[in-house]
Structure 1
Amino acid sequence: MIRIGIVDVDSSHATEFTRRINHCGIDEEQWVDGAQVVAAYPGFSTAVADAQKKNEQYTQTLLDCGVEMVDSPEALVGMVDAAFVQSDDGRRHYAPAKMLLERGVPTFVDKPMTCALAEARELAELAAEREVPLYSASSLRYSPEVVEVASGEAVGRVVGADTISPSKLAVEGIPGLMYYGIHAVEILYTLLGPGCESVQAIESPLGILVAGRWRDGRLGGVRGFVEGSAGFGFRAVGETGTRQEMVSAQFIYRELLKQVIAMFETSKPPIDVRETLEIIAFIEAALEAARSGERVEIPTL
């Protein structure tokens, strides 16, 4: 049984992941086997709305599920076989993830891996140097609708796609596209794969619209809504058909956790970390394109 530790408890993911892994207070159809969350450092970011209230509520849920609280991220080392870095504030991810990787602890970092490409690259390089598994992803990557289309079964090879999601400013100082909007970017990359070379974008108080050009000529779009009830969805055009779907979130945490625990067991991340880096680079380039009004190149990673 793999022992998992959690760093930071200001995101509902800390409780939702623990319920599924520890089989605690959730329907059996949501259970994930092979691991147990045993300890957590109950830190939180004051940039998260209602952070202290959420932290107290989520910490109590973890205690109810048998999770021990510790007084620092470093205290987890030696107690656990793997770790989740889970603050809602992506700016808090770099330091504990770096510490865990340096100590050889396989690590899943909640989305976004970091809010800066330079930091994410450093983590990826450290993980490769130390040969420690590292993964970060949006759970929307594993929605059944996205998986089916990405596999080629539904519409053949995808030749173009557009995705939507909320893109609200939920954590002070973090652009909406880096927070909620990353879900739409991750769906787009799941459908098209890596290889975006440049982006253009326009932004208003109501949202952001991003167009990306892939190196093979395919085009992909992301629309993040600040106002309105957007939900998560996509339209994909394939070689044999077209599919337009709103994405079901019913089992996305379960399916993500299956992939993460498999990584902890095998030391093989589900996707190449360079794709995760490119997703962050895409978002940084899109934000710059929206500010400048110019097309922005995405660096080769």
Structure 2
Amino acid sequence: MSTRRNFIRNSALAGLGISISVPLIAKNTGSVEAQGKRVGIIGLDTSHSIAFTKTLNGEEASSEYLGYKVVAAYPKGSLDIPSSVERIEGYTRQIKEMGVEIVGSIEELLSKVDVVLLETNDGRRHLEQALPILKAGKRMFIDKPMAASLTDAMIIFNAAEHYGVPVFSSSSLRYIGGMDEIKAGSVGKILGADAFSPATLEETHPDLFWYGIHGVETLFTAMGTGCQTVSRAFTEGADFVTGIWKDGRIGTFRGIREGKRGYGGTIYGEKENVNLGTYAGYNPLLKEVVKYFDSGIIPVTPEETLEILAFMEAADLSKEKGGKPVSMEQIMEKSRKESREFKL
């Protein structure tokens, strides 16, 4: 792992004194029962917090949201990313206007809510913020990126298993137009896929974790797990990442650095090839989140989420190696060893 990626990971762990000795992948069986429908939000530094609250707390919220309402929010949030920190004051004002109580700590929030949306825009803070939620036995959705490193994500899943609380993370681009039909078999067996999305960079995060994760999530939603090697090249204005799956299938991600290029992709199926539709917004994801809050059944497995993060870390390592292929297992094993150094 590069010095930069070590810094990103260690900055999230500093002072936590965490150590984990439980199995690597959480099963998330949902042993903790849902206690109510009061939703708490951590992190008012992203538009997602406002969008989710508007939908859940709207006067005409549909029955699909199962009566869940946002009742309390803890604003922090990113501490040192200017583009995120500068949003907190305005978003705090907006969410108060929707009748949401602002609290001064995560501990206070947990005393007032039943489930949690961890929305902090800075993935480096997710581990430290997730641990008290899991310890309190409350179901939690973690917005993208699940963490700023694969190791931190492994520790979160291990802690989720330790405390018997299901947890999941996802980008809303998992639910891009047309994906449901493809997953249901409309194109037959998926033979390969290309995905694209904006991929602006943030120096505190590995390159694709900040925004490229949207297109990578789209790619894995179509292809599933099983990627074995990753290579990365930079073409004019874009990163181009190629993954080769264990059955020989090829999936690619093109991350656009500048300009408004939107989201999309092409799926190659045994029956036909199809282009993905338009971005469907946040609500398709939010519907899955409230179903999970209610049932404890996670819609995205830990294995898939961890492979998405490993793919992005492998892309960084390939970049360092001049575009040479990187083994996904190499990336996974290194993070497994690092995650075992921490105990609860």
- Name the TM tier (shorter chain): over 0.9
Per-residue deviation at 1:44? Answer: 2.8
Per-residue deviation at 1:28? Answer: 5.6
Q: Which amino acid aligns with 1:40?
A: A
In structure 1, the residue matched to 2:296 is: 267
Per-residue deviation at 1:15? Answer: 0.4
Within 1, Cα distance between the matches of 2:105 and 2:111? 13
In structure 2, the residue matched to 1:158 is: 190
Task: Provide, for residues 134-183 of structure 1, a one-character-per-residue CA deviation record: whole Å limited to 9, x for no partner.
Answer: 01000111123222222221x111110000000012x4422441111101
For 1:201, which of 225, 232, 235 is the aligned residue? 232
Per-residue deviation at 1:94? Answer: 1.2
1:112 and 2:145 aligned: yes
1:20 and 2:41 aligned: no
For 1:255, which of 275, 284, 309 is the aligned residue? 284
In structure 2, the residue matched to 1:245 is: 276
In structure 2, the residue matched to 1:225 is: 256
Within 2, Cα distance between the matches of 1:137 and 1:14? 15
**TM-score, normalisation: structure 1:** 0.92
1:134 and 2:167 aligned: yes
Q: Which amino acid aligns with 1:6?
A: I
Provide structure 2 residue ranges, at least 5 long, that are not aligned to the other structure: 1-35, 334-344
Per-residue deviation at 1:85? Answer: 0.9
CA contact (8 A) 1:20 1:30 kept: no
30 and 89 in structure 1: CA distance in 2 versus 1, 3 angstrom threshold:
farther
Q: Which amino acid aligns with 1:275?
A: E
Local SS of the residue matching 1:159 = strand
Within 2, Cα distance between the matches of 1:176 and 1:199? 15
Local SS of the residue matching 1:93 = helix
1:64 and 2:97 aligned: yes
Per-residue deviation at 1:11? Answer: 0.4
In structure 1, the residue matched to 2:134 is: 101
CA contact (8 A) 1:21 1:33 kept: no
Q: Which has the higher contact order (CA 8 A, sep 6+)?
A: 2
In structure 2, the residue matched to 1:188 is: 219
Task: Provide, for residues 215-235 of structure 1, a one-character-per-residue CA deviation record: whole Å limited to 9, x for no partner.
Answer: 111110000010233210011
Q: Which amino acid aligns with 1:253?
A: Y
1:6 and 2:36 aligned: no
46 and 95 in structure 1: CA distance in 2 versus 1, 3 angstrom threshold:
closer
CA contact (8 A) 2:127 2:156 kept: yes
CA contact (8 A) 1:31 1:254 kept: no
In structure 1, the residue matched to 2:87 is: 54
Per-residue deviation at 1:60? Answer: 1.2
CA contact (8 A) 1:158 1:238 kept: yes
82 and 253 in structure 1: CA distance in 2 versus 1, 3 angstrom threshold:
same
Per-residue deviation at 1:56? Answer: 1.3
1:145 and 2:145 aligned: no
Provide structure 1 residue ranges, at least 5 long, that are not aligned to the other structure: none
Local SS of the residue matching 2:233 = strand
246 and 47 in structure 1: CA distance in 2 versus 1, 3 angstrom threshold:
farther
For 1:80, which of 106, 110, 113 is the aligned residue? 113
CA contact (8 A) 1:20 1:31 kept: no
In structure 2, the residue matched to 1:296 is: 326
29 and 35 in structure 1: CA distance in 2 versus 1, 3 angstrom threshold:
closer
Task: Provide, for residues 1-41 of structure 1, a one-character-per-residue CA deviation record: whole Å limited to 9, x for no partner.
Answer: 511111111000010011111116xx767973320111011
Q: CA RMSD in A?
A: 1.9
